[in-house]
Amino acid sequence: MKEVLSRRQFISGFSAAAGTLGLSPALTFGAEKQSAVAPVAPATPVVNSHLLDPSWPVFTPDLYPEKFQMSGVAVAKDGNVVVLSHGENHGDPQKGFQRKFIKRPAVFVVDPKSGRILRTWGANVFFQPHQISVDGAGNFWVADSGLKRVFKFNPDGVKMLELGTKDTPLEMPTDVAVFSDGSFIVADGAISRRGVRFDSDGQRIGDWGARGEETVQLHTPHSMAVDDEDRVYVADMSNHWVQVLSAEGELIATWSKVGRPLCVRYHAGSVYVLSNLSAAKGIVRRFNKKGELQDSFATRPAETTEDFEWPHGLAIGDGGKSVYVGFVLTARRVQRYKRVIN
């Protein structure tokens, strides 16, 4: 009979295996400032701005033969939802991730209305894809922390650019954000702890940030986003803040006490931050560009008995009417949350 781990056993096993996963100890619950059970965010009442849509998605076994860890989500220019998965390379708390190419298609293009998979791509490309984002031209960017590469794909999933070779070494890229001129910045996460800036052709311009807990110092830059004024939002998971920086890396503001920010995205004038309060408690907060909280909702529905642990990926569609969250490790799902308040 297959052994079922308790939550405490799972978290303990994951922490012990952090080195195998290639992660900093600060990425595990119970390390440094975090607690596995105690919330780290301020006691701000959660306004249930969005509720889970149980009818979405509708995945069928022919295209989705087993539950995959869904590490990232993006909304394409045509409105389709693009989901990034670990495929059969499930991250395991005891064994880490499998250091081999994912044989199955890792990217699913999903109809936002029906929730059905329209097409797939990305087989034999990734090891452990961490996040996916979309730029203003509709291209997709994938940071693969296991392969130590960053990829750019056109809207059809055809590779246009690959970074992380000897000429442009990356240690553990976690996310990519693109500026209005086509240049972009890579969050080189838990090892280098920096942001690396490239021009639109992929030539390195420079980098900023250093390990630490002071301003413009990064501990675990887990995600980045760029707004319509080319300001950069850095979700620093272990420092428990979002820092707002100029494109040159100059500090504009620090939003502290946001829990454990895992993903940050900009959409229609708002900044959305997905945070873990504990392994089982995720929250999505919407801020204006001044850092003022507008509304929020929990990713785990009240009274549910289903697994909603480890939210990781975030995307916003329809001007904020739809929010998509991908879950990794044990939950292995992607869900849509529909706005219920104005």
**Domain segments of the chain: what residues?**
7-339
Per-residue pLDDT at 125 exceeds 50? yes
pLDDT for res 213 = 55
pLDDT per position as a tens digit, 283-297:
999 999 999 999 999
Mean pLDDT along residues 104-131: 96
Confidence of residue 195 (pLDDT cuts 50, 70, 90): confident
CA distance 258 to 33: 13
pTM comes to 0.84
Residue of higher predicted confidence among 78 and 89: 78
- Name the percent of the chain lying above pLDDT 90: 59
CA distance 260 to 293: 16
Mean pLDDT along residues 162-175: 86
Per-residue pLDDT at 89 exceeds 70? yes
Secondary-structure class of domain 7-339 per CATH: mainly beta
Q: How far is CA 102 from CA 19, 235, 287, in A?
A: 21, 27, 36
Mean pLDDT along residues 290-317: 92
pLDDT for res 142 = 98
Cis peptide before 57 (omega within 30 of 0): yes
Confidence of residue 123 (pLDDT cuts 50, 70, 90): very high
Per-residue pLDDT at 27 exceeds 70? no
Residue given tokens 């390379």 in the structure block: 89
Token pair for 250? 């100059």
Residue of higher predicted confidence among 314 and 241: 314
Tell me which range, 11-15, 23-27, 256-260, 321-325, is most confidently predicted by mean pLDDT.
Answer: 321-325
Rg (CA), the chain: 18
